[in-house]
Structure 1
Amino acid sequence: MRFSTIASVAAAALPLASAYWTGFNVGANNEDGSCKSQQDWENAFNKLKTLPQYITSVRVYASSDCNTLENAVPAALNTGTQILVGVWTEDSAHYTAEKNALAAAIQAHGSDWIIAISVGSEDLYRGDTDANTLAQQIYDVRGMVRQWGVNQEVGHVDTWTAWVDNANTAVIEASDFIGLDAYPYFQNAAIGDASSTFWSAVDATRNQVNAVSPGKWVWVTETGWPVSGPNYGAAVPSVENAQTYWRSVACAAFQSIHIFWYSYQDYNSSPSFGVIGSDGNAIYDIRSC
């Protein structure tokens, strides 16, 4: 797929070990439910630096919630971490707070810490909005950040099923990049079929994007396999299966696509997709590929 100009510049700025952004989704809450402080973010980012060299970055889900950017951006600057920023779009008051938090972070710290900006997350999948409204919000955020010289890409994150829906082409047209969430687990795939199911979702999304707006880059913004939780048809959560999914999907994807694994830690959830346990150690081996 052809790189956009901005994507090419971003790729050129990556560490020589990787031509792609590769990282984890990191939530804004601690295990006890409290919001991460700047020190908590810094502790998490420093932990990530001890992981394999192909882990270069993080994705955060929101800008204002839990004062995410207010606390995470200084921590990122102190640790050399870069962030795929999330801006929630629901509801209007929340959306305004999110834009204000992003604006404040840029005005205080510049934009070198930004990988890209995602306006919304799975809004189309949930049916929370329509494509035209979401597209206008993408244009709105892009216009806001461009006035401060922020040239990083602005796009949207959603499920592959939303991206291949022709009703949502306005969002593809509005986005600089396409953020894809793909979970073979939720598609009832047995672990032996998980890799092919994942890449089928990537290929279907790429084909749709090329048909609507050729040349835009598809990123994987969420994928992973749970270590515990309920079965989904033939999909069985376990540490062993999460390990298998990592080796069959992550190891290849890290060499071929921008990807943010879900997730760094996943407290008190069922299913639980966390890779790093509450003791700070990896639940399964993420060093061997």
Structure 2
Amino acid sequence: MRVSSILPFVLAAVPAVSARGTLGFSLGDKNPDGTCKSTSDYESDFENLKDLSTLVRTYSGTECDTPQNILPAAKNKGFKVVLGIWVGSQDKSDMSTNEPSFTKDFAALKKAIPGYESVVEAITVGSETLYRGDLTGPQLHNYISTVGKQFPSITVGTADSWNKFADGTADDLFITDTDDNPMVTYVLANAFAYWQGTVADQAYKTYFDDMSGAMTHIQKVAGNNADKIRVINGETGWPTDGGSDYEAAKAGTKNAEKFWKTGVCGMLAWGVDLFYFEAYDESWKPDSTGDNGKAMNEKHWGLYTADRKSKFDTSCPK
């Protein structure tokens, strides 16, 4: 299906954007055998990705010493990196565990970034913390502001599920505009039609509806300041052969290619920046439990295999 034929249908009631979107990739910090990636490993990742993108995002400041290893590689290979600070409790009965994870990651970034500011695209504080219920909007805003004061020359924002931006949970990030907590202007909204159990043929519609819902609500809340806020699709993707199904969403390389051609290419054509989840398969991952309570194999979400081989044609329809 030609992208030009799907856009009028899905864009009928969404905010206007312009220019072609920028493609980035979520990038794991471990090798296929589970060992931590070194600077040379990241350089090999970048060398393989460079024809599609020169932008990646990461998630933690301390796991595998990611900032210390990835920033030199990015500088050497001409890439930009979105760094992450984890703020999230593993124990819902003890929310105080948010603080140690934040403190450790924040300290790691303070140590790693000096001298590499030019390759840091942004810093995200929290990854779906509102979706998990680990923090309230005002609490997350305070964490973001703390990091922003430490790195005044770097854009600081957050990443969360699209519906938390659409349903008002994140409104505090955009209605407060003071010296203590300035308005958040960098937003990664994750949107997976797959996790909504959508069949592959219809997934692009769900995907566009999700992103337009998040963008429309943020613009409404921000009012006259809406043009200051950059809303990016923080994660989207589809599992290939070997992955697990989720309700009507069926894993498979052909379905992943279909979503790429319609959803990903369509979103870029609309002018929205996005990060594809993920660059490479993570074969080290153990099975997890999905939202439906069933075991899920999450080792096969990469655009490339774990040994950096392409799975399908990534060109976008004209």
Shorter-chain TM-score bucket reads 0.7 to 0.9
> Contact 1:180–1:219 (CA<8 Å) still a contact in 2?
yes
**1:139 corresponds to:** 145
**1:7 corresponds to:** none
> Aligned partners of 2:237 and 2:191: how far apart in 1?
8
* TM-score, length of structure 1 as denominator length: 0.87
> Contact 2:28–2:282 (CA<8 Å) still a contact in 1?
no
The amino acid across from 1:250 in the alignment is V
> Contact 2:162–2:191 (CA<8 Å) still a contact in 1?
yes
> Contact 1:21–1:56 (CA<8 Å) still a contact in 2?
no
**1:14 corresponds to:** none
> Aligned partners of 1:212 and 1:231: how far apart in 2?
36
> Contact 1:172–1:178 (CA<8 Å) still a contact in 2?
no
- SS across alignment from 1:31: coil
Shift of 1:104: 1.7
> Aligned partners of 1:284 and 1:95: how far apart in 2?
38
* TM-score, length of structure 2 as denominator length: 0.79
Shift of 1:137: 0.3
Shift of 1:252: 2.3
**2:104 corresponds to:** 97
Deviation track 1:94-146 (CA, whole Å, cap 9, x = no partner) reads 21121112112222x24110111111110111111221111100111101101
Shift of 1:287: 3.3
> Contact 2:54–2:78 (CA<8 Å) still a contact in 1?
no
> Aligned partners of 2:216 and 2:20: how far apart in 1?
22
- SS across alignment from 1:140: helix
> Contact 2:67–2:113 (CA<8 Å) still a contact in 1?
no
Pair 94,243 (structure 1): closer, same or farther in 2 beyond 3 Å: same
**1:162 corresponds to:** 164
> Aligned partners of 1:221 and 1:211: how far apart in 2?
20
> Contact 1:156–1:171 (CA<8 Å) still a contact in 2?
no
The amino acid across from 1:280 in the alignment is R
Deviation track 1:60-86 (CA, whole Å, cap 9, x = no partner) reads 112222100100000000100101111
Point out which structure has higher relative CO (alpha carbons under 8 A, 6+ apart).
2
Shift of 1:2: 8.9
User: Any runs of at least 4 consecutive aligned residues in structure 1 with deviations exceeding 4 A, and if so which?
Assistant: none
The amino acid across from 1:217 in the alignment is R
Deviation track 1:6-54 (CA, whole Å, cap 9, x = no partner) reads xxxxx9xxxxxx85431110011111111111111111111112x33xx
> Contact 1:157–1:180 (CA<8 Å) still a contact in 2?
yes
- SS across alignment from 2:71: helix
Shift of 1:233: 1.9
Which of 79, 82, 90 pairs up with 1:81?
Answer: 79
% same residue? 29
Shift of 1:229: 2.6
Instruction: Name which one, 1 or 2, has greater alpha-carbon Rg.
Output: 2
> Contact 2:281–2:306 (CA<8 Å) still a contact in 1?
no
Gaps of 5+ in 2: 1-14, 89-97, 176-182, 286-296
> Aligned partners of 2:171 and 2:260: how far apart in 1?
31
